[in-house]
Structure 1
Amino acid sequence: MAGIEGGGTLSEVYQSARKLLLRTRNEIERLERFETSVSGADSPELSFAVKKDISQIHSLCADMDRLWRSIPAKSQRDLWKKYHRYNLYI
Protein backbone atom coordinates (compact mmCIF):
# COMPACT_ATOMS: atom_id res chain seq x y z
CA MET A 1 0.00 0.00 0.00
CA ALA A 2 2.10 2.85 -1.26
CA GLY A 3 1.64 6.14 0.50
CA ILE A 4 0.32 4.68 3.74
CA GLU A 5 3.47 3.09 5.07
CA GLY A 6 5.16 5.51 7.39
CA GLY A 7 2.27 7.93 7.57
CA GLY A 8 -1.20 8.97 6.64
CA THR A 9 -4.20 10.21 8.48
CA LEU A 10 -6.40 7.93 10.52
CA SER A 11 -9.08 8.09 7.83
CA GLU A 12 -6.56 7.25 5.07
CA VAL A 13 -5.27 4.23 6.98
CA TYR A 14 -8.85 3.19 7.72
CA GLN A 15 -9.83 3.38 4.04
CA SER A 16 -6.74 1.37 3.06
CA ALA A 17 -7.56 -1.29 5.64
CA ARG A 18 -11.17 -1.44 4.48
CA LYS A 19 -10.17 -1.91 0.81
CA LEU A 20 -7.62 -4.54 1.75
CA LEU A 21 -10.14 -6.35 3.93
CA LEU A 22 -12.66 -6.49 1.08
CA ARG A 23 -10.00 -7.77 -1.34
CA THR A 24 -8.85 -10.37 1.17
CA ARG A 25 -12.43 -11.52 1.74
CA ASN A 26 -12.74 -12.15 -2.02
CA GLU A 27 -9.39 -13.98 -2.06
CA ILE A 28 -10.50 -16.22 0.80
CA GLU A 29 -13.71 -17.06 -1.05
CA ARG A 30 -11.66 -17.95 -4.16
CA LEU A 31 -9.30 -20.05 -2.03
CA GLU A 32 -12.24 -21.92 -0.52
CA ARG A 33 -13.59 -22.64 -4.03
CA PHE A 34 -10.17 -23.94 -5.13
CA GLU A 35 -9.97 -26.21 -2.09
CA THR A 36 -13.34 -27.78 -2.88
CA SER A 37 -12.60 -28.20 -6.59
CA VAL A 38 -10.52 -30.98 -8.12
CA SER A 39 -7.89 -28.65 -9.58
CA GLY A 40 -6.39 -26.34 -7.00
CA ALA A 41 -3.34 -25.36 -9.05
CA ASP A 42 -3.66 -21.68 -8.10
CA SER A 43 -4.14 -22.45 -4.44
CA PRO A 44 -0.52 -22.08 -3.12
CA GLU A 45 -0.05 -18.62 -4.66
CA LEU A 46 -3.48 -17.49 -3.52
CA SER A 47 -2.88 -18.87 -0.02
CA PHE A 48 0.36 -16.89 0.21
CA ALA A 49 -1.41 -13.71 -1.00
CA VAL A 50 -4.14 -14.15 1.62
CA LYS A 51 -1.58 -14.62 4.42
CA LYS A 52 0.33 -11.55 3.24
CA ASP A 53 -2.86 -9.46 3.11
CA ILE A 54 -3.95 -10.60 6.57
CA SER A 55 -0.55 -9.60 7.93
CA GLN A 56 -0.91 -6.19 6.29
CA ILE A 57 -4.41 -5.78 7.76
CA HIS A 58 -2.98 -6.45 11.23
CA SER A 59 -0.34 -3.80 10.63
CA LEU A 60 -2.90 -1.25 9.43
CA CYS A 61 -5.08 -1.95 12.47
CA ALA A 62 -2.10 -1.27 14.74
CA ASP A 63 -1.47 1.98 12.82
CA MET A 64 -5.13 2.97 13.22
CA ASP A 65 -5.00 2.28 16.94
CA ARG A 66 -1.85 4.38 17.31
CA LEU A 67 -3.31 7.25 15.27
CA TRP A 68 -6.66 7.08 17.07
CA ARG A 69 -4.94 7.30 20.45
CA SER A 70 -2.96 10.33 19.23
CA ILE A 71 -6.13 12.41 18.74
CA PRO A 72 -5.90 14.84 21.65
CA ALA A 73 -9.59 15.52 22.30
CA LYS A 74 -11.60 12.57 23.59
CA SER A 75 -14.74 13.99 21.98
CA GLN A 76 -13.05 13.86 18.55
CA ARG A 77 -11.89 10.27 19.14
CA ASP A 78 -15.41 9.27 20.17
CA LEU A 79 -16.92 10.97 17.12
CA TRP A 80 -14.49 9.22 14.75
CA LYS A 81 -15.09 5.88 16.45
CA LYS A 82 -18.88 6.28 16.34
CA TYR A 83 -18.79 7.13 12.63
CA HIS A 84 -16.51 4.21 11.70
CA ARG A 85 -17.55 1.66 14.33
CA TYR A 86 -18.74 -1.15 12.08
CA ASN A 87 -17.79 0.09 8.61
CA LEU A 88 -14.52 -1.85 8.52
CA TYR A 89 -16.36 -5.15 8.90
CA ILE A 90 -19.18 -4.54 6.43
Structure 2
Amino acid sequence: MIKIKFIKIYRLEYCNTIFLEVMDMKTVSVRLNAEEERAFTAYADLMGEPLSTLFKRLMEEKLEDEFDMKLAEDFLERQARGEVEYITHEELMKELDF
Protein backbone atom coordinates (compact mmCIF):
# COMPACT_ATOMS: atom_id res chain seq x y z
CA MET A 1 0.00 0.00 0.00
CA ILE A 2 1.32 3.46 -0.87
CA LYS A 3 0.69 6.19 1.67
CA ILE A 4 0.61 9.73 0.37
CA LYS A 5 1.37 12.58 2.73
CA PHE A 6 0.94 16.19 1.73
CA ILE A 7 3.86 17.94 3.34
CA LYS A 8 3.67 21.49 2.03
CA ILE A 9 0.79 23.61 0.83
CA TYR A 10 1.54 26.93 -0.81
CA ARG A 11 -1.13 29.57 -1.37
CA LEU A 12 -0.11 32.34 -3.69
CA GLU A 13 -1.04 35.81 -2.46
CA TYR A 14 -2.96 36.96 -5.55
CA CYS A 15 -4.18 33.63 -6.83
CA ASN A 16 -6.56 30.87 -5.76
CA THR A 17 -4.17 28.14 -6.92
CA ILE A 18 -2.82 25.72 -4.34
CA PHE A 19 0.31 23.70 -5.10
CA LEU A 20 0.84 20.38 -3.33
CA GLU A 21 4.19 18.66 -2.86
CA VAL A 22 3.69 14.91 -2.43
CA MET A 23 6.23 12.57 -0.87
CA ASP A 24 6.11 8.81 -1.09
CA MET A 25 7.01 7.58 2.39
CA LYS A 26 7.97 4.04 3.38
CA THR A 27 6.93 2.63 6.74
CA VAL A 28 9.48 0.59 8.69
CA SER A 29 8.61 -1.32 11.86
CA VAL A 30 11.08 -1.63 14.72
CA ARG A 31 10.52 -4.12 17.51
CA LEU A 32 11.42 -2.83 20.97
CA ASN A 33 11.27 -4.53 24.32
CA ALA A 34 9.69 -2.61 27.22
CA GLU A 35 13.02 -1.25 28.48
CA GLU A 36 14.07 -0.03 25.02
CA GLU A 37 10.67 1.55 24.47
CA ARG A 38 10.88 3.45 27.77
CA ALA A 39 14.43 4.63 27.06
CA PHE A 40 13.73 5.75 23.48
CA THR A 41 10.44 7.42 24.41
CA ALA A 42 12.07 9.27 27.31
CA TYR A 43 14.86 10.48 25.02
CA ALA A 44 12.39 11.52 22.31
CA ASP A 45 10.38 13.46 24.91
CA LEU A 46 13.57 15.09 26.19
CA MET A 47 14.46 16.15 22.65
CA GLY A 48 10.89 17.26 21.93
CA GLU A 49 10.43 15.11 18.85
CA PRO A 50 8.40 12.04 17.88
CA LEU A 51 10.06 8.61 17.96
CA SER A 52 9.99 8.35 14.16
CA THR A 53 11.85 11.65 13.80
CA LEU A 54 14.33 10.63 16.50
CA PHE A 55 15.07 7.31 14.78
CA LYS A 56 15.49 8.96 11.36
CA ARG A 57 17.76 11.68 12.73
CA LEU A 58 19.93 9.25 14.67
CA MET A 59 20.19 6.89 11.69
CA GLU A 60 21.20 9.75 9.39
CA GLU A 61 23.85 10.89 11.89
CA LYS A 62 25.19 7.33 12.20
CA LEU A 63 25.38 6.92 8.41
CA GLU A 64 27.17 10.27 8.05
CA ASP A 65 29.67 9.32 10.76
CA GLU A 66 30.39 5.93 9.17
CA PHE A 67 30.73 7.51 5.72
CA ASP A 68 33.18 10.09 7.09
CA MET A 69 35.16 7.34 8.85
CA LYS A 70 35.36 5.33 5.61
CA LEU A 71 36.63 8.38 3.71
CA ALA A 72 39.29 8.98 6.38
CA GLU A 73 40.38 5.31 6.30
CA ASP A 74 40.61 5.38 2.50
CA PHE A 75 42.69 8.56 2.65
CA LEU A 76 45.08 7.07 5.21
CA GLU A 77 45.49 3.93 3.09
CA ARG A 78 46.25 6.02 -0.02
CA GLN A 79 48.65 8.14 2.02
CA ALA A 80 50.47 5.03 3.27
CA ARG A 81 50.87 3.85 -0.35
CA GLY A 82 52.28 7.24 -1.33
CA GLU A 83 49.31 8.11 -3.54
CA VAL A 84 48.52 11.43 -1.86
CA GLU A 85 49.92 14.63 -3.34
CA TYR A 86 50.14 17.84 -1.35
CA ILE A 87 50.36 21.35 -2.77
CA THR A 88 50.92 24.69 -1.09
CA HIS A 89 48.28 27.37 -0.72
CA GLU A 90 50.10 29.45 -3.30
CA GLU A 91 50.05 26.56 -5.81
CA LEU A 92 46.33 26.07 -5.24
CA MET A 93 45.60 29.76 -5.74
CA LYS A 94 47.63 29.69 -8.97
CA GLU A 95 45.72 26.62 -10.23
CA LEU A 96 42.44 28.40 -9.48
CA ASP A 97 43.63 31.60 -11.20
CA PHE A 98 43.41 33.77 -8.08
TM-score, L = length of structure 1:
0.36
TM-score, L = length of structure 2:
0.34
Higher relative contact order (CA 8 A, sep 6+): 1
Larger radius of gyration: 2
* More helix by percentage: 1
